[in-house]
Every structure is written in structure tokens, then in C-alpha cells.
Structure 1
Amino acid sequence: MAAEQIAYTVKEFAPAVPGWLNKGDNAWQMTASTLVGIQSMPGLVILYASIVKKKWAVNSAFMALYAFAAVLICWVLLCYRMAFGDELLPFWGKGAPALGQKYLLGRAKVPESKHRGYNDVDDITEPLYPMATLVYFQFTFAAITLILLAGSVLGRMNIRAWMAFVPLWLIFSYTVGAFSLWGGGFLYHWGVIDYSGGYVIHLSSGIAGLTAAYWVGPRLKCDRERFPPNNVLLMLAGAGLLWMGWSGFNGGAPYAANIDASIAVLNTNVCAATSLLIWTSLDVVFFGKPSVVGAVQGMMTGLACITPGAGLVQSWAAIVMGMLSGSIPWVSMMVLHKKCSLLQKA
């Protein structure tokens, strides 16, 4: 009996199993990280390669593949601690490597240093898993942000220009938004809530993509007039990976395997399904037939819409959000786009 107690004590306090480690939370967070990673690679790699014209397929896929690898190296060498480390400026953290064993095996902490939160109350989350898990989870968010941005310049940007753009935008743009909202910056102090990246990821990549598309310039007129996907089945496969991976995207945001994660996963799928059905219904009503590309677009707008509040809203609200995300973007793309000369040049 005494021998069993000694063995249990040694196991409990061994370096591989510290007392604060919750194996369930750690397993879920690593699973969520993998799901988000699958959204990018192979999800968006396949989606981008198949949704563009055949002549752009390889370049589009490689842009996503390169971004995934480049972001990871930049993230562990410098950018993680710029986004979540000690404060350098109200909108930026102090850059430093996140590679040391002592650092990575310590208990995770968000924000990493002590900050005063909303209403001047200490507000630090300490998940029950090591920093290595958190660093990788946040990397997958950073990577998909760049890859989503790439969607705005498919068929426009040279791969060499993209290779230079990725680390520069990550360092000088993404880390600013991440630190300001999630890392203890000025928006964090103001009490701004971004559940899982509606601002840090989707808003930033959307605005950056629009800006990049404007400065890079429009595609050729013949390409703008007809832009069919080169492989519809692969497009659906990529879209499916993106949708299923979003369960990790929003389900991992609470940093634990808890009830918030459960409701976030359900709301994510409810909103995406509603948005897809609304978009498809509008296609049938106004054009007489459904569109596979339209269904994918509706799915993506629904996923983006629910992200800022996936674990915060009730499920009936997720349906309402899906109705809005399936209709408002449809009007902007199918009606306003045809009437606005500026949008037609994009």
C-alpha cells in the first residue's frame, strides 16, 4: 500500500505531469489547435486551388502553404510574445522567442504579464495546461488570418511578393490587433470582447485584404467577367474541412473543455447551416436555381458572423445571425456589386 502511494505521488509531481495540469483541457486544446490547423492546411489550400481558374491553382495553393510555415517560424521566434507578452506599448508587446523549455513547460497565462483589466480589476486567465499548448493554439489563429487575407489577392499577387508580405504583415499588423484585444493592450483595458477572433482575425484580414487588393490592382477584365472554379468537388472538400475545423476555432476559445466550448461549437454549426440555407434560397428565388459556389459563400459568411460571440449568445440568436449573414452579404455581392462601378473593378 505504501509503495502504491509513493508511486502515485511520484507520478503526480513528476515534470511530465505537474499538479496544475488538467489532461482533459490539454487534450481538447491540442485537438482544437489541430482542427484550426486543418482549416488552413489542407482546408484552405484545397479550397483556394480549386475555386480559382486552373492557371492560378498551384500559385494559390502554394501561397496558403507558404504562409502556414512562415507564420509558425515567425511566431515562435518573435511574434507570440509581441501579441501576448509583456507590454511595450499600449498596442504592442515586447518581442522575444518562445522556444525555451522552461518557458514552454510552465503553466499557460493570458495575458502573460500582470495587467489591470476592465474596471481596474486583475483579469488573468491561467489555463490548466502548459504554455506550449497555448503558443501552438494561437499560432493556428495567426496562420489562418494570413491565409484568409490571401483570398483577396489570389490571381493578383506574385508569390515572391507574398513571401515578403507574410512576415511583415504578421509583425506589424496582426500582433498589434492581438495584443490590443487579447494580450492586455488598450482595447483589453476598455473591456472590448472578441470571443474568438471576429476583430483580431476576420476584421483585420478583411480590411487588409481589401487594402491589398486595391493597391495590387484588379485582375484582367477577361478574368473578372468569368471566374469559374476549376474543380467544384475539391472546392466542396476544402469548404467542408473549413467548416468542421471551425468547431476547434470557436470551441477552443474558452481555453478549457467547459460548457462555453460546448455552446460555442453548437452555435457555430447552427449559424453556418442557417446562412448556407438562406443564401441558397435567395439564389433559387431570384435566379431560379441553387449555386454550389453560393452555398460555400453562405457557409463562410455564417462562420465569420458567429465567431465574435459564439460562446456568448443563445442558440436562437445564432439562427438570427445566420439569417443576416446569409442575406446581407448576398445583397452586397449580387445586387450592389452590379450597380457599383468601383466594386466591379475589384
Structure 2
Amino acid sequence: MSVPVAYQGNTSAAVADWLNKGDNAWQMISATLVGMQSMPGLVILYGSIVKKKWAVNSAFMALYAFAAVWICWVTWAYNMSFGDKLLPFWGKAKPALGQKFLIKQAELPATTHYYHDGNVETGMATPYYPMASMVYFQCVFAAITLILLAGSLLGRMNIKAWMLFVPLWLTFSYTIGAFSLWGGGFLYHWGVIDYSGGYVIHLSSGIAGFTAAYWVGPRSTKDRERFPPNNVLLMLTGAGLLWMGWAGFNGGDPYSANIDSSLAVLNTNICAATSLLVWTCLDVIFFKKPSVIGAVQGMITGLVCITPGAGLVQGWAAIVMGVLSGSIPWFTMMIVHKRSRLLQQVDDTLGVFHTHAVAGFLGGATTGLLAEPTLCALFLPVTNSRGGFYGGVGGVQFLKQLVGALFVVGWNIVATTIICLVIRLVMPLRMSEEQLTIGDDAVHGEEAYALWGDGEKYDSTRHGWYSDETQHNAVATGVTLNV
């Protein structure tokens, strides 16, 4: 039996000399795992963790963002994040659609690292797979950032305003962070460490979500007072997809199926498990009951915290980071939040500020302390990088981590504010009072479940509920409904 052309060594045009099939397979699997974190992971989690009347709207915000980012990404945003340098913090916008671009070997052109004397310290990043795999992998990271940000805005943002917000924020905020820290921008060359997105994704989404929540305004008073999840078991299903998908999130960032990716996946699970257990124990100690939602939040803070240093710290350090990520964000959410006028004023629906901004900053800072020199040499372009606990230049590394975080925070506050103010000139950022009262049926004409009242709908003119059958019979007989 003849062997298919694609497997005949390098005799096929589809198998270039530079292609490593193992690396390419792992990169595409990693990208798919990250994509599944969003679709269906966060779609399910968001649709389940909110009040029943917002299930459809919350899930759709995630679904829309996932689709919209894809088109923006391949049309202009990929090269703004990973292409040729335009500014020290921004790449040149151009499409990533042509076959010549997509089938050539992947490269990040601005990543060549130089010593101060001009000699090359580390060559340009050129993974052994095509640009198509790189574009795919980086796109799902961009998409999940917008979806995480949406968690701050559930239950009240005008869906049409959200449809404008997604491409604007991707273009003027996400691409800045991605190029600055990953694509060869000034923070990358200075040596700020962000292994897989603690700053680019989590700190930025947490700060931007909190800022946008300020400008959009709060949910209705009734929703803020009581906002129970409509399906806890489905929420756990979404959370499970998020956890397992993180193997691709952190394991794919060495751009290779190498020993560093294996360590990153192991550390990810260690930190997440530790954080979940610490958060749960704190709930039991102070509130006498283990909260399932609390356990999910602890899981998320652990995943977020390990992300900036996943392949750079030892296993014991991952446990330390898990203890910190299970306790410090718990403290800011349960104690500080209730005592802060600003945090009380801004309605951050899912507490994204605590679970992503606080945990992302914590992860970046602890990476600056715990990054192990041998592991740093496996991944980082700056030679002799190390955390503060390992002496030498480690103290400087911790300072770099703080400065990098301040840049991400500052840029996202300013950019998100401008974007919200521009959109507000065109349309309201917040839903109407009628939509806030009714929920999904008013916004989408659809409901998540037809269980309560067998699919009854709300009539705002009569301030009551009616079924489609009742309405049909009333119209046919000319009867006025008294509901």
C-alpha cells in the first residue's frame, strides 16, 4: 500500500524542510483547547452563573465576541500585535489572509533581541510550523480576553454598544499589550516576563472590565441585591472546560512541544488546585459553608496567577503562588470590596477585577520573585534572567514586573475610557429600563428556559406575564387581557 504524499518525508510541498509535525500538532491542539475555553466554556459558564433572565444575553455576549475577534484578527489586528514594528508598543496593521503569508514558516519579526553594543543576544522567534498555526493560536487568546472582560458587564450593557466595543477595544488596547510584551515591543526587549498572559490577558481584562463597568453603570437595583446562578451544575461544566483548556493556554506558549511546555502544564494544575482548596477553606472558616461559586473563583485565580510564570517556576513555587492566589483575591473580594466606596460603586458583575486583575498582578509580581534561572534560560530572550529570590539581577526583575503592570493598568484605563465615551456619542452604553426589568425576552426575543410558567412572556404595558397561547386566543376573540 502506498504512503499518502503528506507523509512521504519532505517530498511533498505540504511538508517543508522546516516543519516539525509534532510542534505543529501541539500548537493547533493548544489553540483548540484555548478556543474551547471560550466556546463553549465561557459561553456555558456565563449563561449559567447569571440570573435566569440574563442567561441568553450573557452567553451571546461571549459568542459574539468570539466571532467578531476572529474577523478583526485576520483582517488587521494580528500584525498589529505580532508583525513589523510601527511604534515601540504597536505593530503595523495589515491582513493575515494571503497564502504566501500563511504557509511560510512562522516568525515574529520584531523579536530579535540585541545587546547594548548591537550584537544579537537572541535571534528572532521562528517556530517550526506555518504562520497559519501562529495566527490561529494567538487569535483565541485575543478572543478570550474580550470574553473575560465581558464578565464585568453582564446584565446591563446595551448589546449594540458591546458589538462596537469589541473591535475597538481589540484594536486600541489588546494589540498594544500583546505587541509590547510578546510581539517585540519595548517591554519585551526590556525583559518584563509574561509567560502566557498574566498581564496581556488577565490584568488588562480585569482593569478594562472594571473601567467599562464604571462607564456603563450598574445593573438594576433588584439584580444587584439578588443575582443567583440559574444552573450551578452547568456553571461547573463551563468551569471544567476552562480548567482543562488551560493546558493549551500555558502549554502552548513555548511555541513548541518541549520540556518547558510540560512543566507549564504541570504547574498550572498544581497552582489551580491549591488555590481552589485555599479559597474553599477560607469560605468554610469565615462563612461556615463551602461555596461552589467560591471554589470556581479560587480555581480561576489560581489559573490566572500561575499564567505569567507557568514554565519559569518550580513545583513548590506553584504551590506558594496557589496559596497566595487563593487568599489575597479572596481577601480583596470578601473584605476590601465591602469596605471600599469605589469598589462598591462600580458594579463588576462577576468580580473580574478580583479574579483577573488582582490575581494577574499577583502572578506577575510573584514571577518576578520566583522565576528560576535555569528555567528562564529555556524560554526567555534576555540571558541571565531570574527572580528576586535567586539573587543577582533578580531584584531588578521584580521592579520590571511592577513597571510592566503599571503600563498595562494605565493604558487600559485610558483606552477603555476613551472607547466608552466615543461609543456613548453614538448610542447608550446601558440598556433601557424596560430591558433591565424584563431581560432576555426584551433584548433578544428569546429565553433560556421554558420551564417557569411554560414559556410565559412579560407584557410591560400591563405589567404582567402571558403565554403565547393566551395571547393568540385573546387576539382571535378580541378579549382584553387583564394580567
TM-score tier, shorter chain, comes to: over 0.9
Q: Does structure 2 retain, via aligned residues, the 8 Å contact 1:118–1:191?
A: no
Q: Quick check: 1:290 aligned with 2:290?
A: yes
Q: Is the 8 A contact 1:118 1:188 kept in 2?
A: no
- CA RMSD across the alignment: 1.7
1:186-225 matches, within 5 Å, as 186-225=186-225
Hey, what does 2:258 align to over in structure 1?
A: 258
Q: Deviations over 1:196-215 (max 9, x none)?
A: 01111111111110100111
In the alignment, is the contact (CA less than 8 A) between 1:118 and 1:190 conserved in 2?
no
Give the match for residue 112 of structure 1. 109
Q: Which residue of 1 aligns with 2:314?
A: 314
Unaligned runs of 5+ in 1: none
Aligned partner of 1:62 in structure 2 is 60
1:228 aligns to what SS in structure 2? Answer: coil
TM-score when scaled to structure 2? 0.68
Q: What is the alpha-carbon distance in structure 2 between the residues aligned to residue 76 and residue 272 of structure 1? A: 32
Whole-Å Cα distance in 2 between the matches of residues 117 and 38 of structure 1?
Answer: 37
Cα distance in structure 2, aligned partners of 1:117 and 1:64: 40
C-alpha distance in 2 between matches for 1:123 and 1:192: 18
Q: CA deviation at 1:11?
A: 4.5
Rg larger in structure: 2
- Structure 2 equivalent of residue 229 of structure 1: 229
Q: Which runs of 5+ in 2 are unaligned?
A: 348-483
| 1-structure distance, mates of 2:156, 2:172 | 22
Partner Cα separation in structure 2 for residue 254 and residue 241 of structure 1: 22
Q: 2:97 aligns with which of 84, 99, 104?
A: 99
**Alignment correspondent of 2:244:** 244
Among 65, 71, 74, which residue is 1:73 paired with? 71
**1:75-154 alignment runs, 5 A limit:** 75-109=73-107, 111-113=108-110, 115-117=112-114, 119=116, 120=118, 121-154=121-154
CA gap 1:130/1:300 in 2 versus in 1, 3 angstroms: same
Aligned-residue offset at 1:133 = 0.3
Per the TM alignment, residue 115 of structure 1 is displaced from its structure 2 partner at its CA by 3.9
Measure how far apart 1:24 and its partner are.
0.5
For residues 309-329 of structure 1, give each alpha carbon's deviation from its aligned partner in whole angstroms, at most 9, with x where no partner exists. Answer: 000000111011000000011
Deviation at 1:87, TM superposition (A): 0.8
TM-score by length of 1: 0.95
Residue 117 of structure 1, CA deviation: 4.2
Q: How many residues align?
A: 340
Q: CA deviation at 1:13?
A: 3.7
Taking the aligned partners of 2:53 and 2:321, their CA distance within structure 1 comes to 37
Task: Give the letter for the 2:244 counterpart.
Answer: M
What's the counterpart of residue 267 of structure 2?
267
Q: CA deviation digits over 1:222-245, x for unaligned, max 9? A: 222222111000000000000000
**Structure 2 CA distance, aligned partners of 1:293 and 1:222?**
20
Deviation track 1:163-206 (CA, whole Å, cap 9, x = no partner) reads 00000000111111111111111111211121001111111111
Partners in 2 of 1:129 and 1:265 — Cα distance? 21
Name whichever of 13-22 and 49-58 sits farther off. 13-22
SS in 2 for 1:88: strand
Report the secondary structure of 2:10's partner residue.
helix
After TM superposition, the structure 1 = structure 2 runs for residues 180-191 of structure 1, keeping only pairs within 5 Å, are: 180-191=180-191
Shift of 1:116: 3.8
Select 1:12's aligned residue among 7, 10, 13: 10
User: Is this contact kept in 2: 1:117–1:184, CA < 8 A?
Assistant: no
Is the alpha carbon distance of 1:145 and 1:330 closer, same or farther for their aligned partners in structure 2, counting shifts above 3 Å? same
**Are the aligned partners of 1:39 and 1:242 in contact in 2 as well (CA < 8 Å)?**
yes
Residue by residue over 1:265-299, the C-alpha shift from the partner in whole angstroms, topping out at 9 and shown as x without a partner, is 00001100000000000111111110000000000
Shift of 1:98: 0.5
Matched residues in 2 for 1:11 and 1:300: separation?
43
Identity within the alignment, %: 75
Which residue pairs with 2:178 in the alignment? 178
8 Å CA contact 1:49–1:60 kept in 2: the answer is: yes
Cα distance change of structure 1 residues 288 and 113 upon mapping to structure 2, 3 Å threshold: closer
- Check conservation: 2:181, 2:194, Cα contact below 8 A: yes
Contact kept, 8 Å, 2:110 with 2:185, in 1: the verdict is no
Per the alignment, residue 161 of structure 1 pairs with: 161
Q: In the TM superposition, what is the alpha-carbon distance from 1:221 to its structure 2 partner?
A: 2.2
